[in-house]
Structure 1
């Protein structure tokens, strides 16, 4: 069953016909070196929670599909897991976030190359969703807004994370936090170079003095951010992909909008979630625990988080083994000890 947040399930924007042909995009696989544990099959369990926080309106949405192919009418090509998770952090309104939440997974599912070419299909779906929203905005100016987007897919043992913006995905591998995405802020050196090469600039930490993210879907109404040329403008909708082969050491994945990461470091969030999962082993409760803790830490933004577990058991206790101390005594030492004991017996 697909679980949406807010009104994403009932999304009722102007209908936009989207052709799902695969774009000519080359994405080099970034498979991890963990080729052992070939027999490991993830057992997927997920939970999500969202809260308006201290804001006057809610612009974060999410989607959880533990059985992605079945939920979207696809024939499962293998017996392993196939799941889709997404978080979308809207700005300037919620329309772009709702639009992306509704259309992005469908564009992936409808592509004839999915799941065989999952990385290229996901990248194509991000760009097609962005173009489709531009068309929707041209028909109804009231829809004008933007959203960051992060999608995570589990296909068999392969974890694919695609990110455009400052949402973040963090993998817990035997208690260690592994960032599966980068925060696309204008001040990042890589993003700054891309922005300036596309004719944009950074003012006071903001892209063209307008946005505090360097990648996002939507925002077509903002002059100078996006274009139809080959460079596409300084605000990019193309996601950055990270992939990894899951092993039995991988325990869970945290996906959150920036309101979570404003008050949690990656390792801090993993430590916190791990303790909660050890207590109740429930990803739904764990996601609520993370949101509640972010509120206690006075995060000033909307909050949305998804926790995806890859094991049926709770995370194990990690107790460092006590070093074995090797002690030995020489023959001379034994003679001295015996002599000492003999003296005591006299």
Structure 2
């Protein structure tokens, strides 16, 4: 199956606009059109940081999400096959060290700006090729997603969230299984850990060999490996922040949710909420997390071993009667009860219209009005058409 005529025209229109803006590859001294996340990047971090830059660049220019995922996959595949030795940082760099408990071999660091310019040029080259001859793009559904996040009364915004509706296409997983990914990260003591997890957790997840055969184990392992990568970043850049995390992967007809800390996921089925996870609260003793600790979170290396990076994970089969999946940080759930969510979403759909993506903004506003002063982030992925939800609600009244 290929795209519909309307979707193909949307793809052609974007490629024309993009290649008009970037008719040739960037010259060596041309500023990057999007800033890298860090001045130096390790080989293990390059995949995630390149995808993040590419998706930001394309999204800012209105790229259709599927096309953006396919372009980024093509560009990063070319980048990772390139000779990157000319971008290596000098080994005598004062921050290029690892702790004694790890390998004596120094990690290879790359200069971000020139290596990301190479990535952007691969992105431009792919767009030019496709503009001249648009390939047959797969016909996959585009779920309606609503997101909203505010700093609120806090001095800094330390939340991050990620939505990847075309996970399989972004990572070139050609097993015929459609996947979507969404996550919320609630940082504390700074945003660095949340930002790192938001860029790398889904990349690490995509690399797990047992993603299809044992997805729960794959999700847990992805959390652990991302935390290990973050420890390496922390040691060379003195990162001392932490973050909670809740992430969901819809893999075919299976929903997987993994979490550390008190950010939560909520499934609503036929207008009724289902609490599908037990969040880690600060007063919950579990494993080696003491009652007075911050809970479970990636990062927080000064607190280890009192704070764990071992995620919990749940899995359930989707039946087709699920309305939506909601992910949010504690800034939302501390002031809005899960049982109130279906009514709030239904009211928002009625007031805004079934095709409106402003539902999350309504929920964030309600949490603020209800007394939350914390950062608030809400992500909703509709698993059924909002029009069906409204219709079924009207018929049941």
Which residue pairs with 2:172 in the alignment? 74
Which residue pairs with 1:11 in the alignment? 37
Hey, what's the Cα distance between the residues in 1 that align with 2:161 and 2:290? 31
Partner SS for 2:145:
strand
Distance change in 2, residues 1:281/1:320 (3 Å): closer
Which residue pairs with 1:123 in the alignment? 220
Alignment of 1:1-346 (within 5 A): 10-12=36-38, 14-18=40-44, 44-71=143-170, 73-78=171-176, 81-141=178-238, 143-188=239-284, 192-195=285-288, 201-202=290-291, 206-207=292-293, 211=294, 214-220=295-301, 222=302, 225-226=303-304, 233-279=305-351, 280-282=353-355, 284-314=357-387, 315=389, 316-317=392-393
Hey, what's the Cα distance between the residues in 1 that align with 2:35 and 2:355? 24
Hey, what's the Cα distance between the residues in 1 that align with 2:237 and 2:369? 39
Which residue pairs with 2:25 in the alignment? none
| Cα deviation code 1:161-192 (max 9, x no counterpart) | 0010100100001111111222201323xxx1
Hey, what's the Cα distance between the residues in 2 that align with 1:249 and 1:95? 38
Hey, what's the Cα distance between the residues in 2 that align with 1:181 and 1:318? 30
**Offset of 1:278 from its aligned partner?**
4.2
Q: Max radius of gyration: which structure?
A: 1
What RMSD over aligned residues (CA atoms) do the two structures have, in Å? 2.5
Which residue pairs with 2:72 in the alignment? none
Hey, what's the Cα distance between the residues in 1 that align with 2:168 and 2:43? 22
Hey, what's the Cα distance between the residues in 2 that align with 1:129 and 1:90? 15
| Cα deviation code 1:63-118 (max 9, x no counterpart) | 001111112x323422x531000100000000000000001011111233333332
Hey, what's the Cα distance between the residues in 1 that align with 2:203 and 2:35? 13
**Offset of 1:270 from its aligned partner?**
2.3
Hey, what's the Cα distance between the residues in 2 that align with 1:56 and 1:193? 31
**Offset of 1:49 from its aligned partner?**
0.9
**Offset of 1:46 from its aligned partner?**
1.2
Query: Is this contact kept in 2: 1:42–1:157, CA < 8 A?
Result: no
Query: Is this contact kept in 1: 2:349–2:386, CA < 8 A?
Result: no
Distance change in 2, residues 1:103/1:146 (3 Å): same
Partner SS for 1:243:
strand
Distance change in 2, residues 1:117/1:201 (3 Å): closer
**Offset of 1:271 from its aligned partner?**
1.9
- Total equivalences in the alignment: 267
Distance change in 2, residues 1:274/1:93 (3 Å): same
Query: Is this contact kept in 1: 2:331–2:372, CA < 8 A?
Result: yes
Distance change in 2, residues 1:61/1:9 (3 Å): farther
Query: Is this contact kept in 2: 1:160–1:242, CA < 8 A?
Result: yes
Query: Is this contact kept in 2: 1:168–1:180, CA < 8 A?
Result: no
* Structure with the larger RCO, 1 or 2 (CA within 8 Å, 6+ apart): 1
Query: Is this contact kept in 2: 1:62–1:88, CA < 8 A?
Result: yes
Partner SS for 1:317:
helix
| Cα deviation code 1:103-140 (max 9, x no counterpart) | 10111112333333322111111001111111111111
| Cα deviation code 1:277-307 (max 9, x no counterpart) | 3442246211111112112223110011100
Query: Is this contact kept in 2: 1:44–1:66, CA < 8 A?
Result: yes
Partner SS for 2:163:
strand
Distance change in 2, residues 1:125/1:167 (3 Å): same
Query: Is this contact kept in 2: 1:174–1:251, CA < 8 A?
Result: yes
Hey, what's the Cα distance between the residues in 1 that align with 2:234 and 2:317? 39
Hey, what's the Cα distance between the residues in 2 that align with 1:255 and 1:283? 18
Say which structure is richer in strand.
Answer: 1
**TM-score, structure 2 length as denominator?**
0.63
